[in-house]
Amino acid sequence: MTLLESPRAFMPLHPQGNALASQSAQRSLPTLFAAGAEIYAQGETCNCLYRVEFGAVRIYRLLADGRRQISAFHLAGETFGFEAGDTHHFFAEAIVATGIRVLRTAPGAADLLPMALKSLVRAQEHLLVLGRQNALERVSAFLADMAERQGGLRQVELPMSRNDIADYLGLTIETVSRIFTRLKQEGVIRLPSLRRVEIVKLQVLHDLLA
Amino acid sequence: MTLLESPRAFMPLHPQGNALASQSAQRSLPTLFAAGAEIYAQGETCNCLYRVEFGAVRIYRLLADGRRQISAFHLAGETFGFEAGDTHHFFAEAIVATGIRVLRTAPGAADLLPMALKSLVRAQEHLLVLGRQNALERVSAFLADMAERQGGLRQVELPMSRNDIADYLGLTIETVSRIFTRLKQEGVIRLPSLRRVEIVKLQVLHDLLA
DNA sequence: CGGGAGATTGAGCCCCGTCAAAAACAGTGG
DNA sequence: CCACTGTTTTTGACGGGGCTCAATCTCCCG
């Protein structure tokens, strides 16, 4: 039911485009992707990792009927693109204008494993949210997580749309919207703008995480 | 709502017991755990990996109110215990009488990363099931997965209880039971015994995975 | 100011959870 | 082999949380 927002992903702004593998220098300028641009697709061969310099990325899979599950968001400073085998099992798209640095993967690098394990723990914790928490708890967990990843400030930027949030939390956009409204009415959050949340009662959010 | 099946996990049968870290030889006999015995607990320090020689293991987390999410089952031949940091974030328990071989982890070992990545892909694919599939699709995905991991035979052993299956699929035992009954009535599966499933129409299961 | 995508709100319904009872199963001991 | 007991599974009735469908509103950006 949930469709991609862009019928066709935009082309990357940077001339190198999708031919990321052709980049050679590790310290080159980051490649710039426009909002909605595809970074890699399911089925593509993969031999690189990607580091977000600025912006945000969504990792997702699709079912045949268009249902989408976003398995992770990646913000500035985070590394993604881990795969078992030599092809990508997921799609990666820039959510907003995003700078990506390609890391040519030395397969034996010692620091790869810790990053992969961090992704694993993240995914496993998200399983708990999707499997056993209701809509209110899911949105609370999401907001608390976003706040923590942005340094624990009260003001949180949400680069992604309600649609993205819904597909990440296994809900519909309507339900996400209703929960936002409810949290606002109860004074837990404020919504200065659509993509900005101010967390007023952080403790309430954490209490909801049981 | 979902409680642990054993009010208190049994003690391991093998004298080494939980002091797994004291084992030295890589090629030692596997440690035997009785059904329900704890292999490690959330919060324990970890420096080993574990390989299932025979039997089956569940990996799970608990919410404060007792809700449980099983993030993975591990069958004979599979390796588990990957963690970011030095403490376990999950519980691991033997489901039935299970032999476990402890692998002392050489942190730089080249073959660790592929196994960790396999766990990561498994977790991410399970996110799709929990986030975007209904009860019928979840049970079908589970049965197809179990069949594939047991060599693709028609006869599938289910070492885990309905309770475990429910907590893995984010459902209740009642719903799991109803779906089993429904698949049976539609001739997709047969249930020779409680813990044994014969898959009659494998294609139907796969069609349900969209 | 108008147009369009995204977000919010409302009404109704359905899948699945909850609660309860019956049935099947697994031990245990006689 | 069977009676007895506790656990697991199945089945039923019912209610509610979240989905569906549809209308309205808000925010951008020309």
Rg, C-alpha atoms of chain A: 17
Chain A, 55-114: which have a CB under 8 Å from a chain B CB? 59, 61, 63-65, 67-69, 71-72, 82-84, 89-90, 107-108, 110, 112-114
pLDDT for position B106: 65
Mean pLDDT of A21-25: 43
Unique residue bearing structure tokens 């609370």:
A140
Of A79, A89, A93, nearest to B122 by C-alpha is: A89
Rounded CA–C1' distance between A174 and D19, in angstroms: 9
Residue B9: count other Cβ atoms within 10 Å of its Cβ: 19
Domains, chain B, ranges and CATH? 7-113 (2.60.120.10), 131-207 (1.10.10.10)
Dist. CA A147–CA A127, nearest whole Å? 20
With a cut of 50, say whether residue A108 has pLDDT above it: yes
User: Residue A19 pLDDT > 50, yes or no?
Assistant: no
Query: Does an H or E element contain B56, and which?
Result: strand B56-62
Task: Check: CB of residue B52 under 8 Å from CB of residue B92.
Answer: no
Q: Would the pLDDT of A132 be above 90?
A: yes
Residue A158 has pLDDT above 80, yes or no: yes
A167 in contact with B, Cβ within 8 Å: yes
Tokens standing for A195? 């993509």
Q: Please tell me which residue, B56 or A107, carries the higher pLDDT value.
A: B56
Q: Collect the ranges in chain B with pLDDT lower than 70.
A: 1-28, 106-109
**Mean pLDDT of chain A, nearest integer:** 87
Q: How confident is the model at residue A14 (pLDDT cuts 50, 70, 90)?
A: very low
**Angstrom distance (rounded) from CA B144 to CA B125:** 13
pLDDT in tens, A35-91: 999 999 999 998 899 999 999 999 999 999 999 999 999 999 999 999 888 999 999
DSSP letter (8 states) at residue A20: G
pLDDT top residue among A190 and A107? A190
Dist CA B137 CA B209 (whole Å): 6
Cβ–Cβ below 8 Å for A117 and B71: no
* CA pair distance A170, B54, nearest whole angstrom: 35
pLDDT at position B29, please?
80
Exposure string over A137-150, b if 16+ CB within 10 A, otherwise e: bbbbbbbbbbbeee
CA-to-CA separations, A131 to A168, A175, B35, B95, B127, in angstroms, rounded: 13, 17, 24, 20, 9
What number of other Cβ atoms are within 10 A of residue B39's Cβ?
Answer: 26
* B56-62 sheet: strands from edge to edge: B38-40, B91-94, B56-62, B68-75
Dist. CA B128–CA B170, nearest whole Å: 12
Question: Residue A106 pLDDT > 90, yes or no?
Answer: no
pLDDT tops 80 at residue A156: yes
Strands ordered across the beta sheet of A155-157: A155-157, A196-199, A189-193
* Run of H or E including A57: strand A56-62
Are A66 and A2 in contact, with CB atoms under 8 Å apart? yes
pLDDT at A147: 96
Q: What is the rounded CA–CA span in Å between residue B111 and residue B188?
A: 39
Burial class (CB in 10 A: 0-12, 13-18, 19+), B43: exposed
CB-nearest partner of B127 from A64, A69, A116: A69
Within 8 A of A81 by CB-CB distance, chain B residues are none
Share of chain A above pLDDT 70, in %: 85
Angle, helix B112-132 to helix A112-132, in steps of 10 degrees: 20
Taking CA atoms, B143 is separated from B131, B136, B177, B180, B206, in Å, by 18, 11, 13, 10, 10
Is any atom of strand C within 7 angstroms of residue B41's beta carbon? no
Kindly state the DSSP code that residue A21 receives in the 8-state scheme: G
For B141-165, the DSSP string reads HHHHHHHHHTTS-SEEE--S-HHHH
Shortest distance, CA B107 to any CA of chain A (angstroms): 9
